Amino acid sequence: MLQAIFFSLFVRPFLTFFVGLRIAGAENLPKTDPFVMIANHTSHLDALTLLSLFPLSRLRNVRPCAAADYFESTKMVSWVSHTFLNILGIRRTNITRETHPVFLMKACLSRGESLILFPEGTRGSGEEISSFKTGIAHLIEEAPGIQILPVFLKNLNRSLPKGEFIPIPVFCDVRIGAPMTVQGSRQKIVRSLEEAVKALAEG
Amino acid sequence: MIELTPVHKVGLGVLGLLLISSAGTALLMKAKPGSDFSELSSRIRAWWVMAGVFFGAIFAGRIASLVLLALMSFWALKEYLTLLKTRRADHRALVWAFLSIPIQYYWAGSLWYGMFIIFIPVYMSLWLPMRLVLAGEAKGFLASAAEIQWGVMAFVFGLSHLGYLIGMPAVGSLNANGQSLLLFLVFITEMSDVFQFVWGKTLGKHKIIPTVSPNKTWEGLVGGITSVGICGVFLRFLTPFSAVESFIVAASIAIVGFFGGATMSAIKRDFGVKDFGSIIPGHGGMLDRVDSLCYAAPVFFHYVYYVHY
């Protein structure tokens, strides 16, 4: 409820009128969950932008995966991340069987929740897409046949780069690719996902 | 009998022109069912919307007009900035560039002439490069400083002259005031674009600057200047001008507006794009529509300010 209010009153007007999103490929958005959306990562605006692509009624069903050491660092931060972004906290250290990222993500998918993943693992400068981490391949091995939706985000790093807190208005592109399924070795999976996002970057 | 103000008269005139254009397009479509008039009709529909928003803001009052003009600056600057190859180090300076919009329109709205006229050309032009220096990145510094300052000058300082103009008091004992002068300027500038386009399409042969703007021809320019000169004479009830003066001022607006359009064309060529954006169907971006105004507004304003106030 709070998330829906936050998105309709602040996030969407901000992204539409201040930033100015130009969305291509909206018809590729799956109508049903679960799926895994992957995108390049350059800005704190990325997760907000990707979530804003969905109708308010589906917001609670789409969960951005976010580093627990950052987005759950304090009680306050954690409350904000969960209430307004509905994140799935991913631990990068002190991992046990129950807190293993792949285990948690798979649990979400089997509950019918979709995920947003930034396979580069961290925000980049926006100049080029870094190589993807292999976590996504582990997840696909655990959930074979899951729909992957590649997305390329352009210019969001110019609106709000890493290390800045005041966004500037600059038109940003969201390019949504066709849903795909991948299989094969981990290396092959990672490579084909990288290629899918890079292909959107060039088109 | 209701007394019509000059602003009402122009509003009715514009309404008439739009009705004639729409009816004319509809007749053309009937007469030549095979041809494609979709661009023409989407352009005219966009004119309806633009005229509606513009007159809506004028009738809603000065604050509404200032907000609309500030939003025009905002959108134009955003379109320009999107095309720039800005560096990571430019971020804070760009925040200031956008912050200059409300500040500059505040000076314009409060008719604080001194601040209005020096804030961007003096203070912002000193501060923006300094802010870039503080970011500590020398490579590409001069290009960034020049590009940002140019954008702020053209789209914030240039367009904000419309905001100052609208608040100017009545001239002597005449009907003309800032509001009617603004209407004169905007109407003549936009009509000059339309006339230059129409004359260029029908008679245009000799290109002026083919490498930058292949659609601009001498025939279009001369036709446009003469046509709006005549319009200016008929619209002089909006101004303190004599008939001859109206002709000269309107013709000058056409010439300066041409410079504005040509300059923005050069920028588009430089960036390799056709339009600055897509907010106005059939016209392109905000900048594709206000390009002439960015140049015409300051020149017209200072003429009126020094000669008639």
How far is residue A55's CA from residue A143's CA, in Å, rounded to a whole number?
25
**Helices (H), ranges, A15-111:** 45-51, 68-71, 75-80, 101-110
Backbone angles phi, psi at B216, to 5 degrees: -90, 120
Q: Which CATH superfamily is domain A2-202 in?
A: Glycerol-3-phosphate (1)-acyltransferase (3.40.1130.10)
Please give the order of strands across the beta sheet that includes A148-154. Answer: A21-24, A172-176, A148-154, A36-39, A114-117, A62-67, A88-90
Taking one residue from A and the other from B, the number of pairs with CB-CB distance under 8 angstroms is 26
ipTM topping 0.85: yes
Q: Whole-angstrom Cα distance, residue A191 to residue A193?
A: 5
Residue position matching structure tokens 């994140």: A87
Is residue B32 helix, strand or coil? coil
Q: Checking DSSP bridges between strand A21-24 and strand A62-67, what pairing results, if any?
A: unpaired
Optimal mutation site among A156, A171, A172, A173, interface B, most CBs of chain B within 10 A: A171
Domain ranges of chain A: 2-202
Q: Is A20 on the interface with B (CB under 8 A)?
A: yes
B91 and A155: CB-CB below 8 Å?
no
Test B91 with A171 for CB contact under 8 angstroms. Answer: no
Q: Find the helix or strand (DSSP H, E) in which A117 lies.
A: strand A114-117
From the candidates B72, B80, B88, which should be mutated to test the interface with A, based on the most A CB atoms within 10 A? B88
Q: What is the pLDDT of residue B129?
A: 97
Average pLDDT over residues A120-131: 87
- Please choose, from the candidates B80, B72, B136, the residue with its C-alpha nearest in 3D space to the C-alpha of residue B104: B72
Q: Is B140:B87 a contact under the CB 8 Å cutoff?
A: yes
Per-residue pLDDT tens for A138-172? 999 999 889 999 999 999 999 999 999 999 999 99
Residue A35 near residue A149, CB atoms below 8 Å? yes
Whether A64 has a pLDDT exceeding 90, the answer reads yes
In order of A7, A49, B5, the CA distances from A2 in angstroms are 9, 17, 50
3-class secondary structure, B46: helix
**Domain map of chain B by residue range?**
1-60, 63-165, 168-309
Residue B173: what pLDDT?
66
- pLDDT tens, N- to C-terminus, chain B (309 residues): 567 788 888 899 999 999 999 999 889 888 888 777 787 888 899 999 999 999 999 989 899 999 999 999 999 999 999 999 999 999 999 999 999 999 999 999 999 999 999 999 999 999 999 999 999 999 999 999 999 999 999 999 999 999 999 999 988 767 788 999 999 999 999 999 999 999 998 998 899 999 888 889 999 999 999 999 999 999 999 999 999 999 999 999 999 999 999 999 999 999 988 888 888 887 888 898 899 999 999 999 999 999 998
Q: Three-state DSSP class for A77?
A: helix
pLDDT at A191 over 70: yes
| Tens digit of each residue's pLDDT (9 = 90 or more) over A71-106 | 999 999 999 999 999 999 988 888 888 888 899 999
Q: Is A164 on the interface with B (CB under 8 A)?
A: yes
Residue B1 has a pLDDT of: 59
Tokens 């709000």 — which residue? A160
DSSP state of A14: I
pLDDT at A41: 94
Report the distance separating Cα A117 and Cα A194, nearest Å.
13
Report which DSSP code applies to A180. Answer: B
- B88: which chain A residues are within 8 Å (Cβ-Cβ)? 125, 161
- Structural contact between residues B251 and B206, judged by C-beta atoms closer than 8 angstroms: no
B211 neighbors B268 (Cβ within 8 angstroms): no
Q: What pTM value is reported for the model?
A: 0.92
Q: Are A141 and A103 in contact (CB under 8 A)?
A: no
Amino acid (one-letter) located at A196: A
Tokens in use for A141? 């091995």
